[in-house]
Amino acid sequence: MLSETLLVSAPGKVILHGEHAVVHGKVALAVALNLRTFLRLQPHSNGKVGLNLPNIGIKQVWDVARLQLLDTSFLEPGDVTAPTPEQVEKLKEVAGLPEDCANQKDLAMLAFQYLYLSICRKQRALPSLDITVWSELPTGAGLGSSAAYSVCLAAALLTACEEIPNPLRDGEPASRWTTEDLELINKWAFQGERVIHGNPSGVDNTVSTWGGALRYQQGKISSLKRPPALKILLTNTRVPRSTKALVAGVRSRLLKFPEIVAPLLTSIDAISLECERVLGEMAAAPAPEHYLVLEELIDMNQHHLSALGVGHASLDQLCRVTMAHGLHSKLTGAGGGGCGITLLRPDLEQPEVEAMKQALTSCGFDCWETSIGAPGVSVHLATSLDTPIRQALDGL
């Protein structure tokens, strides 16, 4: 068991193109969002395991001795196997959580317990440690916050238990694990996601582990050539929506108007493929005309998504406000409210961005100026993190 404090971070994700079409077998492009989740793991010898999640108000402590006495043989030692419904029920019992735990807090504790007990049970004794996780990502906004949480937990616990080495070298501000170690982190993070979501696609945890951009189609995930980091404005309209209802709405529209809706889905697929081609070119040599193509693709996809019935007045307002500043936006994720992304060209002056952010904030929206194509899960030197992040992890 490592004795030093570990600091780990992982990015969120946005769907660039292909939302809804992906449900019908088309390509989706998912990109790492540089709003990150940060985790600090502190080993100690007080016989306690602490989990502190300030974003959602969790401060929980378990007795290692009590956990040690539990029969955790229901967790296969060392194998990354999918948690069965029976295991999850048993885990609720062990963690002292209600049987019907479906709220965010209970599921976050359940995923932690699952990963802690599964990864650490190969140790001679379960380790005493404190884990604090703080995130820049809003929860429940379709930005992969639960996946970033699972990825951080898997990376930190595997490293602390010396299942994988700590890649950080003296004097380095940050480092990343080898491909082999990232694959193990991703496998465990996917199990954490399964505890939280039941049957996730695996896209969110894969983007958070590897970073950059991924292509997803019919269960197959592949990395794109490292795209350039594109600056975006991410806007949360704060309009709640039901992904399930929106997906069902598109399906019923497809059944009702197959001749109209099927070509829309084919067209969205072509947009994703064209975007993938442009990002590939930009990886080699980005040019101003690439941004113009990306903007056209954003506009066309947004219109298609509205035609599928997943638009919303708040998203139309976002598009109008940004268009007034000469910028192009589309919804990301399920639609019907939720979040939108706006591409920020490199030639854009900062006062212009500030004016637009102000206009969007006055609509009651939340805005973040960030980038996509961010690095995946990383380990950091404490002093290399910005003061606000360190303070958040310290609970200040």
The set of catalytic residues is 146, 204
Distance CA 332, CA 319 (A): 12
- Alpha carbon distance, N-terminus to C-terminus of the chain: 29
Sequential DSSP letters for 263-287: HHHHHHHHHHHHHHHHHHHHHH---
Burial of 290 (0-12, 13-18, 19+ CB in 10 A): middle
> Can you tell me which residue has the tokens 């079409």?
21
Rounded to a whole number of angstroms, the CA Rg of the chain reads 21
Tokens read off for 373: 């194509």
Residues 6+ apart with CB under 8 A from 136: 35, 36, 37, 368
Give the contacts of 338 (CB within 8 A, at least 6 positions apart).
Answer: 141, 142, 236, 237, 239, 241, 331, 332
